[in-house]
Structure 1
Amino acid sequence: MGELQVEKHVKYILAVEKRKDDFESVVMEHLRLNGAYWGLTTLDILGKLDAVDQDEVISWVMQCQHEDDIAGLQNEDGSFSGDMWGEVDTRFSYIAICSLALMRQLDKIDVGNAVKYIVSCKNVDGGFGCTPGAESHAGQIFCCVGALAITGSLHHVDKDLLGWWLCERQVKSGGLNGRPEKLPDVCYSWWVLSSLILIDRVHWIDKEKLAKFILDCQDKERGGISDRPDDAVDVFHTYFGVAGLSLLEYPGLKPIDPAYALPVSVVSKVILGK
């Protein structure tokens, strides 16, 4: 099956963070906070979080905070806008619900209305889209199923119908795609796999073939994971590849929570105080 190149992935993530002045870093500056999440969570899953200066990271993250309150972005129909400009997407419903749950502040929003909106985005194939009537997509399915799981509302999901749609995302190589007739992509090792786990249908796919696909996407010389074998690596796919392997219980990795997309140890500490 191959071996996860832990030390090389750690070295790759740390090198990416240090490159702040090259062209790639400048044009991706608007995603730097996302990159911090992908990189730091990967290091944590690998058991290597002590490789970064945590005080420096926290200080930088706090500089990115605005005065807005998340709850103010909920709309009358229960949906959430991503920012002051008003774009609505079920991704924002998940982000709002997940963030507020981590802060133990879910009572600041109308949870029932938020759930009602998410359910309105369910399609006849069992999947979910970004808005009512939009095409089912594995990424949106995770956002909706994850939000429903956090709010204790998974009874709204047709688990067999959705499970069938999700398991059909596995292609011959073992990888998963996000929609029918699309190429496999390592990131769906998270979006699809976590959703299948949340609805208790993960046994409907070949987990061993999926693990092999992820490991085949590694840059075994310089570290990092790509979307497909032999493509260029990036922190985004490195995170989702390692997170997918964690869900597959790959040896030596910390378990990750399929709803919160954070290590189980972090979720337990933050929400349960353990």
Structure 2
Amino acid sequence: MELLSGELEVEKHVKYILSVEKNKDSFESVTMEHLRMNGAYWGLTTLDLLDKLEIVDQDEVISWVMQCQHESGGFAGNIDHDPHILYTLSAVQVLALFNKLDVLDIDRLSDYICGLQNEDGSFSGDIWGEVDTRFSYIAICCLSLLHRLDKINTEKAVEYIVSCQNLDGGFGCTPGGESHAGQIFCCVGALAITGSLYHIDKDLLGWWLCERQLVQSGGMNGRPEKLPDVCYSWWVLSSLILIDRVHWIDKAKLARFILGCQDKENGGISDRPDDAVDVFHTYFGVAGLSLLEYPGLKAIDPAYALPVDVINKIFFGRK
């Protein structure tokens, strides 16, 4: 890609991510209090992609993560909060970044996730029973990282995901739900991890996904007629890579859109140019650039949403 590596404000983004964590009274920190585990995953993975994770006190992070584990085996978004499958995956991903999955009681944790699978193969997010294909992806991704995918009914899990496929090739959050790029990533990612991508009409889905790129800005949206948003640089791009249709979009134009959403003075990336930055969009912007093979960034795995070297350690015991 013909881009200057200096266009990404690496040092400023690092400084921004660290400032979000340090300033507990800031608006962003307060509004993220209930989902701090997700924020830790977004921020720390961004630092790793920028090859700056060593500046973090990993013992402090791991200690905090383990304090968020509930007696059920699942993890909460913060200490003394209720457990949810969303935060459980983020906790596992954070520990994976530091190569510390061995601190977990893996059987206890995998039992928690298995207990959330329903008769039809779907997954609930927690004891209250909300069902969503996001939770199917999270369960499959999490158990795969823990080498415990055999503990669930994978066949039924795949059947449920396939039942959420629409006539346009996309996927919704439940059967009949509107196709959405975020849900499509969850379904495609889960099917990729389980070796089930043959269920997808790759040309039909690829066409729907590449139509998410807006001609004027080069950015991606999540559904037809919506504004572009940096986070869809990840949801759409990773899905296109997994179904081998990424060559159908203008990658250079997308990279320019992401870079145009940076706060070049204070660091961080926003959803669209000149909007307020946050750690969520900073992560998905950098992750998107990683998928675009932007110079100087570590490679990220499009299915597991973790750096490739982290995945290699988990599955192959090597860097």
- Per the shorter chain, which TM-score range? over 0.9
- Which residue type is aligned with residue 114 of structure 2? A
- Which residue type is aligned with residue 14 of structure 1? L
For structure 2, the residue ranges without an aligned partner over 5 or more in a row are 74-111
Q: What is the aligned partner in structure 2 of residue 183 from structure 1?
A: 227
- The share of aligned pairs that are identical, in percent, is 83
Q: What is the aligned partner in structure 2 of residue 138 from structure 1?
A: 181
Which of 166, 170, 173 is matched with 2:217 structurally? 173
Using the TM superposition, give the Cα deviation of residue 27 of structure 1 relative to its aligned residue in structure 2, in angstroms: 3.0
- Which residue type is aligned with residue 21 of structure 1? D
Q: What is the aligned partner in structure 1 of residue 146 from structure 2?
A: 103
Alpha-carbon distance in structure 2 between the residues aligned to 1:176 and 1:207? 11
Q: What is the aligned partner in structure 2 of residue 161 from structure 1?
A: 204
Q: What is the aligned partner in structure 1 of residue 246 from structure 2?
A: 202
Using the TM superposition, give the Cα deviation of residue 23 of structure 1 relative to its aligned residue in structure 2, in angstroms: 4.3
Q: What is the aligned partner in structure 2 of residue 243 from structure 1?
A: 287
- Which residue type is aligned with residue 43 of structure 1? L
Q: What is the aligned partner in structure 2 of residue 264 from structure 1?
A: 308
Alpha-carbon distance in structure 1 between the residues aligned to 2:27 and 2:263? 22
- 8 A contact 1:101–1:271 mirrored in 2: no
**Which residues in structure 2 correspond to 1:25-44 (within 5 Å)?**
25-44=29-48
Which of 263, 268, 277 is matched with 1:233 structurally? 277
Alpha-carbon distance in structure 1 between the residues aligned to 2:246 and 2:32? 34
Q: What is the aligned partner in structure 2 of residue 222 from structure 1?
A: 266
Alpha-carbon distance in structure 2 between the residues aligned to 1:242 and 1:65? 29
Q: How large is the Cα RMSD of the aligned pairs?
A: 0.9
Segment drifting more, 230-239 vs 61-70: 61-70
TM-score (norm 1): 0.98
The structure-2 alpha-carbon separation of the partners of 1:23 and 1:205, relative to structure 1 and needing over 3 Å to count, comes to closer
Using the TM superposition, give the Cα deviation of residue 58 of structure 1 relative to its aligned residue in structure 2, in angstroms: 0.6
Report the count of equivalent residues: 274
Segment drifting more, 212-221 vs 19-28: 19-28
Segment drifting more, 12-21 vs 149-158: 12-21
Alpha-carbon distance in structure 2 between the residues aligned to 1:93 and 1:35? 21
Provide Cα deviations, 1:241-266, integer angstroms capped at 9, x if missing partner. 00000000000000000000000000
Q: What is the aligned partner in structure 2 of residue 116 from structure 1?
A: 159
Using the TM superposition, give the Cα deviation of residue 271 of structure 1 relative to its aligned residue in structure 2, in angstroms: 2.0
Alpha-carbon distance in structure 2 between the residues aligned to 1:159 and 1:218? 33
Using the TM superposition, give the Cα deviation of residue 31 of structure 1 relative to its aligned residue in structure 2, in angstroms: 1.2
Alpha-carbon distance in structure 2 between the residues aligned to 1:79 and 1:59? 32
Provide Cα deviations, 1:11-50, integer angstroms capped at 9, x if missing partner. 0000001111344422321110000000000000000001
- 8 A contact 1:176–1:184 mirrored in 2: yes
Alpha-carbon distance in structure 1 between the residues aligned to 2:27 and 2:157? 40
SS in 1 for 2:36: helix
TM-score (norm 2): 0.85
Q: What is the aligned partner in structure 2 of residue 52 from structure 1?
A: 56
- Which residue type is aligned with residue 12 of structure 1? Y
The structure-2 alpha-carbon separation of the partners of 1:93 and 1:240, relative to structure 1 and needing over 3 Å to count, comes to same
State yes or no: 1:147 paired with 2:190.
Answer: yes
